[in-house]
Structures are given as structure tokens and as C-alpha cells.
Structure 1
Amino acid sequence: MSRPSFDLLPGDDDSPVILHVPHSSREIPADVRAGIVLDDEALRRELDHIVDAHTDRIAAEAAELAPVTPWRFVNRLSRLVVDPERFPDEREEMLAVGMGAVYTRTTHREALRPADSDPEPLIERYFRPYARAMTKAVAARLAATGRAVIIDVHSYPTERLPYELHGDGPRPPVCLGTDAFHTPPQLLAAARAAFGEQTGLDSPFSGTYVPLEFYGTDPRVSALMVEIRRDTYMAEPGGPAGPGLGRLAEALAALVSAVSR
């Protein structure tokens, strides 16, 4: 049996928090790579731009620092395989730039896959199992603690990339993405306290990830997206992490601690 394309890393039984890390990997299975039209060098450059590099490490260090250990749900495959945070149908506006659940375009709007390629095999193989597992993880936190707090850990480039639909606004060191239903004021306040004055709101990215089973219907599930500007902790694009990573892990741990109480 093949290994799952994601890991659910356990935290404390009484923790309601799931640190969700969907975009940190560069891994692409060989058979999926065969369907990508970029040569090896172009693919390497695209991964440098599209991967939220080192966010898995930020989440891991935060988990170690937090007094109550959060759970972590980590995607082990590149978002160029499937993007687990997209809708798998026409509701997703990113389809307009070829970046729905299965991307057909790159960050620079060049061809990644043939435009007429069928996304269904990849959705069935990777997207749906991921969604089911994340739904199960959230349900388990609800059963154990009566609530679930999803904190999405992302990063974004200092300079706007061509695929960004709403990238003409501020690009703060930390962007907090919110949802009108799932981001309560106390969660947002805790994030602002943890990350300090460097935070901005819903620019250049907005929204949160909540499994569809709970989305817009279950107020026990709260969610926040933490988008970290890459120049604050790494060399761009795709380079090594720097000393800023530790400070960000400490801030994320402070947020986890605040919402775990």
C-alpha cells in the first residue's frame, strides 16, 4: 500500500489546534511529473516561486515551543500535484488563471500542463483523500475538546507574482487571512498580539481553509490563515532559511498557546 501524501502529526489530547501546512513541499511523483510540460530547470524555478518554503519547519518549531502541543497536518507533496485548499469545481476563482485544484498555469501564467488535461485522476488520487483526512482530523478535535482551531501556515513573496488576482494592496510582514464566519474576533486579536505591529489583514491574500463539511455551518470550527512574507525569514526565491524563522516560530507558538487556553 502506498504511503499517504500527507501526515497528521499528533499533539496533546486536549489541544483544539491544528497547524495546517499545505504548501511547503517540492515533492512531485514521477508519473505526475510526466504530465508537466516544463523542463527540469523551468520546473525548479517554478517551485522556487510557488513553494511556501520552510513553513513546515516553522510549524514544527512552534509545536515544540507551545506549552500545549498542537496537532499538525502537513502536505508532503507539492501543490503542483494538487492544491488541497482549492475548491475542486467551478466555484474557485483561481481557475481563471489556471490554478484551480490542479494547476495548468504557472505563477508567471505560462503553461504547466496542457489546458485540456483531465484533472479528475489527480483529484481522485490526491485531493479527495486529503480532504477526507483533514475533515476527520477536525472532527476528532471537536470530539475531544468541543472546538477546533485551524491555523493555516503559509508564506508569500515580497514582490507580486503575475498569477496573484488581488496583489495590488499592502504586503505586510505577516498577513492574516480571515473568514467572516470562521474567524472570531478573539482569534484575530490573539494573532495580532502574537505577531505584533507587523501584521496586516486580508492583503495580499484573504480567506481561511475549513473542510467543506464544516464550512459556513459549524461555529465550533474557527480558522485563521497566517501568510508570512518570505524576506522576513529566508532568501528569495527558494533559498535557505535565516534567523527570522526562529522568531516567527516563537510568535506562532504564542498564538497556539493563547488559543489553546
Structure 2
Amino acid sequence: MVAPIVFNSPHSGRVYPPRFLAMTRLDHLSIRQSEDAFVDELFGRAPHLGAPLLRAHFPRAYLDVNREPWELDPTMFLEPLSDRFNTTSPRVAAGLGTLARVVAENKPIYRERLTLEDARMRIEGIYQPYHDALQKLLSESVTAFGVALLVDCHSMPRIGRHGERATPDIVLGDRYGTTCAPAVVDLVETIFTAAGLRVARNRPYAGGFCTRSYGRPHHGVHALQIEVSRHLYMNEATLEKNAGFEPLRQLLDRLIVTLIGLDFFSFAGTPLPEVEQAAAE
């Protein structure tokens, strides 16, 4: 680690457990529609340039580590869920809890209801070690540099109609200015806009659980979510890379190099004002 930057790709996993595939009603292509496909490859040069990249191998349809640990839909389970579980969040209502009920286009994943043991196995066996590893990387950065920046890397379906001028290519999420120094967000936006991409902030993606939970500027940890529109680098229907993949990867290489070379304290050394966390994401 040569700079206080940690990259995280929690939704790009594509190793589907056979037991899980036997439980789903979806074909192999449909079950993959929830993936942030190839995002780990787009940001894959980060470790070679000196910044760690934590990436999931398990798919988001199997376990979503960008949710609270026990954010579960009670309709998915044979047993009743007690008050210890968060069963009423907007993510659960949309079918996108820690264990998702649906993939894109609201397609149900499972043939039958699950047991709570299924949830415990995934959350205690995979979710918690994943977040332990992410927290360790951020703590090591703070220890070494006095500060850390988490860059949470995602992709999004194309927003709006084809050719619509207002359609963003990139959405930057900092929970409405509460999780990352504004100057850092400004710099990232400038890099994308200089490359001719349209950038939006916080709408429709303000940052999920990782951004909200780890972004604590007053404790030296900043967090920024980056959503990249999939049409820039892949065919969204077939999940195949297109001609835009390599130019986008090179642009993200430049972003990584810029962040690693940043005098971070000149950008992020001033604490943010105390503001209430935004609820949207």
C-alpha cells in the first residue's frame, strides 16, 4: 500500500455455487443480471499501482455485502424472523436485501423458501469475513497515513432512453456530501468529464451500505461510490464486453494513478461539518 486508497468491488463476483444454482428457477444468463459484471477487471490495475482492491468472488444474487448484515425479507424464509432482523427497509421491499429475492426486472430467484440456516451460513461464513477484511484494509491505511479513502466500485444499467442527453454515464455517491471530502469528489468528477462523460451526483445512487457505514470523515475515513453505466463497456443483454471496455479501463487507470498521487491532506484534511446522514441510496 503506497497511498491511503482502498478499492472495493462487492458486486462483481461470478462464481455461482452449484447448490445455489440448484435452488434457483432462473437460467444462467438471467441469474447474472444482478452482477456488476467486469467491474473488478475495470479497476483491476489498482493493486499493481499500489492500492489494494477487495473484490467478491461470490455473486450478488447469492449474497449482497453492500447491505446490512441481517437485512432480510420474511417472505423468503420458512421460519418467522424476529425483531433482530431488519425486515422493513426499502431494499427488502424491493427484493434486494442481504439475500436477494429477485434479480433485475423483478425476476424471482428461488424455487422454494429458504431456511434461516441458509442465511446464517452465508452471512456468518462470507459476509462477516468480507467486512472484516475491508475494515482491516481501511484501519491499516489510517494507521500508515492518518487517513483513508474507500472507493466503492459499481456498475449500473443505462439510465433513461437511448440518446437522451441528460442520461449520466457516471454517478458519484457521497451520501449528499456526508461521506467524502468535496474536493476529492470534485477531482473525480473532473477526470470523468474531461474524458467526455456525463456525471451526476447522488441521483439515483447516493451510496449504499459500504459508503454509508465506512465513510466517517471525522474519523479520517472518506468513502465515495462510483457507478459506471454498463453500456460504456458491455452489452447489457448478453453480458459480453464491447469495444468500449479497454478505453474505459485505461481511463480508470488514470483515475487510480491520480488518486494514488494525490496529496490527500490538502484535499481531505479539513473535517466536514456535522450533517445528518441522508436516507436515500
62 and 140 in structure 1: CA distance in 2 versus 1, 3 angstrom threshold: closer
Deviation at 1:241, TM superposition (A): 1.7
Q: CA–CA distance in 1 between the matches of 2:46 and 2:129? A: 27
Structure 2: runs of 5 or more not aligned? 72-85, 161-165, 263-281
Amino acid across the alignment from 1:74: R
Q: CA–CA distance in 1 between the matches of 2:242 and 2:13? A: 18
1:44 lines up with 2:39 in the alignment = no
Q: CA–CA distance in 2 between the matches of 1:238 and 1:22? A: 21
Aligned match of 1:134: 134
1:59 lines up with 2:43 in the alignment = yes
Structure 1: runs of 5 or more not aligned? 1-12, 161-169
Amino acid across the alignment from 2:93: A
Question: Any idea what SS the aligned residue of 1:243 has?
Answer: coil
Q: Select which of 19, 22, 36 maps to 1:31.
A: 19
Deviation at 1:174, TM superposition (A): 0.9
| TM-score normalised by length of structure 1 | 0.79
Deviation at 1:181, TM superposition (A): 2.4
Q: CA–CA distance in 1 between the matches of 2:43 and 2:89? A: 27
Q: CA–CA distance in 2 between the matches of 1:140 and 1:32? A: 35
Length, aligned pairs only:
232
Question: Any idea what SS the aligned residue of 2:184 has?
Answer: helix
175 and 159 in structure 1: CA distance in 2 versus 1, 3 angstrom threshold: closer
Deviation at 1:92, TM superposition (A): 4.3
Aligned match of 2:204: 204
Aligned match of 1:105: 102
| TM-score normalised by length of structure 2 | 0.74
User: What do residues 222-260 of structure 1 show as CA deviations (whole Å, max 9, x unaligned)?
Assistant: 111111111111112243223322332233233333333
Amino acid across the alignment from 1:59: F
Aligned match of 1:256: 256
Deviates more, 1:179-188 or 1:130-139: 179-188
User: What do residues 158-199 of structure 1 show as CA deviations (whole Å, max 9, x unaligned)?
Assistant: 257xxxxxxxxx641111111232121111111111111521
Question: Any idea what SS the aligned residue of 1:149 has?
Answer: strand
Report the RMSD for the aligned CA atoms in angstroms. Answer: 2.4
Aligned match of 2:10: 22
Amino acid across the alignment from 2:24: V
Question: Any conservation in 1 of the 2:11–2:59 contact (CA below 8 Å)?
Answer: yes
1:75 lines up with 2:60 in the alignment = no
Q: CA–CA distance in 1 between the matches of 2:250 and 2:43? A: 10
Q: CA–CA distance in 1 between the matches of 2:254 and 2:230? A: 20
> Following TM superposition, where does structure 1 have runs of at least 4 consecutive aligned residues deviating by more than 3 angstroms?
61-64, 114-117, 214-219
Deviates more, 1:214-223 or 1:72-81: 214-223
Question: Any idea what SS the aligned residue of 2:236 has?
Answer: coil
Say which structure, 1 or 2, has more relative contact order (CA 8 Å, 6+ apart): 1
Larger radius of gyration between Structure 1 and Structure 2: 2
92 and 238 in structure 1: CA distance in 2 versus 1, 3 angstrom threshold: farther
Aligned match of 1:176: 172
